[in-house]
C-alpha cells in the first residue's frame, strides 16, 4: 500500500483540493494530520503521472507518495546549511571577509551540482585566509538562524527513541554549535584550519563531501544495528544526493532544482515538521523542545 501525502503552509491546504485528488486517484479515506496543513490517503499504486500532478498543484501544496510500511524512522540524518539553518555558513564568513557575492555564486553552483564539491570548497575557504577566529562566534550570533520546525522534529524523534545526526559539508566550528542548539546526538563536518588565532585559508583533509555523508549513514546505522531503511535523511544540495537516495526516506527540503529532480520526496511549502508528517505523525503527537 502507498500513501499520498499533501503538505502546505499552515492554513493553506484546501480540503477541496485534497478531496479532488483523492477522487481522481481512486484513493481511500483522507486522514488529516493537521487541519488545513497536512493530509494523506492510501493508494493501491503510485500514479504513473505523478510528476504531472505534482507540477499542477506545485503553487498550492507538496504532493509525495511513499510506502506505508516502516514509515516511522529510527534515525534522522540531516544536512546543516540551508537545511537545519537558513544560511550557508561559508557565505556568511565570506561576507565578513568582503568576498560575499563571489563566494555565494560558487556555493550556489556547487550545491546545484554544477561544480566539483571538494574543489569549490577549497577555492572558497582560500578566500577566508586571515579572518580572525573570533569571526566564527560573531557569525553564529548575528547571522545564523535556525530553520523553523527543527527543534520539534528532533524532540519528537527523540521521544520515539530516534537517534539524530548532523552531517555537513560545512565546518565543525558551526556544527558543534548548531548541534547543541537543536539537540543532535552527534555531528560530523569539515575542519577550518586555524593558526595564531586566524583562519589559514585551508580546510582539513579528508574533506567530507557526498561520499562521506553516505559513509556516515553506513557507519552509524551499523553501530546502532539498524539499516538504511530505518533512516530519514534531509538535505538541499547536490552533495546530499547520495544519502538521500540511500536512506529509507530521503527528503529534498527547499532544495536546488537538480536535487529535486533526482529526489522522490520533496518539500517546498512546509518547514522541518514536514518530515514528521511524511512519517505519519499528526500534529497532536508532536513534542515541543
Give the active site residues.
79, 81
Alpha helices in 82-161 (DSSP H): 89-97, 100-111, 117-126, 135-142, 150-159
Contacts within 8 Å (CB) and 24+ apart, 199-204: 199/125, 199/128, 199/129, 199/130, 199/131, 199/132, 199/133, 199/135, 200/129, 201/125, 201/126, 201/127, 201/128, 201/129, 201/130, 202/122, 202/125, 202/126, 203/121, 203/122, 203/125, 203/171
Compute the distance between CA of residue 170 and CA of residue 202 in angstroms, rounded to an integer: 13
Residue pair 215/206 in contact by the 8 Å Cβ criterion = no
Instruction: Judge contact between 104 and 91, C-beta under 8 A.
Output: yes
Q: State residue 280 phi and psi, 5-degree precision.
A: 90, 10
Contacts of 145 (CB under 8 A, 6+ apart): 85, 86, 87
Amino acid at each position: 500500500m502507498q500513501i499520498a501525502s499533501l503538505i502546505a503552509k499552515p492554513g493553506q491546504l484546501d480540503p477541496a483540493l485534497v478531496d479532488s485528488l483523492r477522487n481522481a486517484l481512486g484513493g481511500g479515506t483522507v486522514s488529516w494530520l493537521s487541519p488545513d496543513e497536512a493530509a494523506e490517503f492510501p493508494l493501491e499504486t503510485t500514479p504513473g503521472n505523478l510528476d504531472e500532478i505534482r507540477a499542477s498543484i506545485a503553487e498550492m501544496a507538496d504532493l509525495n507518495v511513499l510506502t506505508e510500511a516502516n514509515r516511522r524512522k529510527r534515525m534522522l540524518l540531516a544536512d546543516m546549511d540551508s537545511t537545519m539553518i537558513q544560511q550557508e555558513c561559508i557565505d556568511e564568513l565570506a561576507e565578513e571577509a568582503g568576498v560575499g557575492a563571489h563566494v555565494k555564486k560558487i556555493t550556489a553552483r556547487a550545491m546545484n551540482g554544477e561544480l566539483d564539491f571538494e574543489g569549490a570548497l577549497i577555492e572558497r575557504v582560500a578566500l577566508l585566509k586571515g579572518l580572525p577566529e573570533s569571526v566564527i562566534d560573531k557569525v553564529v550570533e548575528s547571522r545564523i538562524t535556525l530553520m523553523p520546525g527543527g527543534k520539534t522534529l528532533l524532540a519528537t524523534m527523540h521521544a520515539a527513541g530516534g537517534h539524530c545526526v548532523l552531517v555537513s559539508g560545512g565546518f565543525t566550528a558551526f556544527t558543534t554549535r548548531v548541534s547543541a542548539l537543536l539537540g543532535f546526538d552527534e555531528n560530523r563536518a569539515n575542519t577550518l584550519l586555524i593558526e595564531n588565532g586566524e583562519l589559514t585559508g585551508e580546510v582539513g583533509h579528508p574533506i567530507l563531501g557526498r561520499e562521506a555523508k553516505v559513509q556516515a549513514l553506513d557507519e552509524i546505522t551499523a553501530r546502532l544495528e539498524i539499516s538504511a531503511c530505518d533512516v530519514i535523511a534531509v538535505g538541499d544540495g547536490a552533495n546530499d544526493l547520495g544519502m538521500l537516495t540511500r536512506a529509507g526516506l530521503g527528503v529534498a527540503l527547499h532544495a536546488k532544482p537538480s536535487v529535486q529532480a533526482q529526489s522522490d520526496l520533496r518539500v517546498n511549502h512546509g518547514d522541518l515538521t514536514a518530515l514528521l508528517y511524511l512519517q505519519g505523525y499528526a500534529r497532536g503527537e508532536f513534542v515541543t523542545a
